[in-house]
């Protein structure tokens, strides 16, 4: 099943707009696992088990695995999610951006090695840096547009000659000329609700991956009001707030409680 169909089905089945980000940092693990990179898979698998019925997607961040020489654990985790939660799409957060044969290898990494349903990409080297990923049928390509970090404004908020900002131009391209087979989506931060609403205006049906809720301070309800539409799925990501909700052996239960509360907040905003 394609990424878009998986996402729509998971959103409906689980009544959820929540994406749980899997950003494992061993120094922040619960006490009995703390500081041990060999426990990355165990930690993330417990989080998956405790939240898989509450989310519409998972988003492992590749750097958190690679920094600890744990790519094999990421492969194991991706296979585990497909086995225990086959109805939940997995977005590999890699933010790749390169051209030609290098982009082909990054695409193979995401979709063959890790078997991701979608991958995050940087669009700033142009369409030919995205095109190799389109060779993998049904896979989602989620382009950085208006990111949640303050420094994103250095480039993304620059005004073009036609008066638009760069992030608006990216949104137009993703919704139009670049979206040849309707598989593009956009990353837009919850920390910029006005820009989020503008991106939704420019790209009314594209899936949006929305980081910045939770530890980064984005307002979950405002995010849903700005971005959610019945025919346009959103993935509102929370990572640290869920992952590190508890520091004891019951950390997975604590993570579930935070995920439930966040899911409920998002659902209430959707129905408002």
DSSP state of 93: E
The continuous run of DSSP H or E covering 49 comes out as helix 40-51
Residues involved in catalysis: 95
How many other C-beta atoms can be found within 10 angstroms of the C-beta atom of residue 176?
A: 12
Which has the closest alpha carbon to 59: 240, 228, 196?
Answer: 240
List for the chain the helix, strand, coil content (%; round to 5). Answer: 50, 15, 35
- Contacts of residue 115, defined as CB under 8 A and 6 or more positions apart, other chains included, come to 78, 79, 82
How many other C-beta atoms can be found within 10 angstroms of the C-beta atom of residue 230?
A: 6
Give the chain's end-to-end CA distance (angstroms, integer).
Answer: 31
CA distance 157 to 19: 26
**3-class secondary-structure state, position 226:** helix
């Amino acid at each position: 099943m394609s990424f878009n169909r998986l996402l729509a089905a998971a959103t409906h089945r689980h009544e959820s707009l929540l994406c749980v980000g899997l950003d494992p940092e061993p120094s922040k693990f619960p006490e009995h696992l703390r500081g041990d990179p060999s426990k990355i898979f165990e930690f993330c698998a417990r989080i998956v088990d405790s939240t898989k019925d509450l989310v519409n997607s998972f988003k492992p961040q590749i750097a958190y695995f690679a920094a600890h020489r744990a790519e094999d654990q990421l492969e194991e985790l991706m296979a585990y999610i497909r086995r225990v939660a086959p109805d939940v799409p997995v977005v590999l957060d890699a933010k790749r951006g390169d051209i030609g044969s290098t982009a082909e290898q990054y695409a193979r990494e995401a979709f063959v090695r890790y078997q991701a349903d979608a991958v995050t990409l940087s669009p700033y080297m142009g369409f030919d840096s995205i095109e190799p990923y389109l060779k993998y049928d049904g896979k989602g390509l989620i382009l950085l547009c208006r990111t949640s970090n303050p420094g994103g404004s250095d480039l993304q908020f620059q005004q073009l000659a036609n008066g638009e900002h760069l992030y608006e131009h990216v949104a137009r391209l993703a919704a139009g000329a670049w979206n040849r087979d309707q598989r593009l989506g956009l990353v837009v931060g919850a920390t910029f609700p006005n820009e989020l609403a503008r991106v939704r205006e420019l790209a009314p049906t594209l899936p949006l991956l929305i980081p910045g809720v939770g530890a980064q301070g984005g307002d979950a309800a405002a995010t849903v009001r700005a971005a959610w539409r019945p025919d346009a799925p959103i993935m509102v990501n929370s990572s640290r707030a869920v992952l590190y909700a508890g520091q004891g052996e019951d950390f997975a239960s604590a993570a579930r409680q935070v995920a439930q509360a966040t899911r409920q907040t998002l659902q209430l905003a959707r129905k408002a």
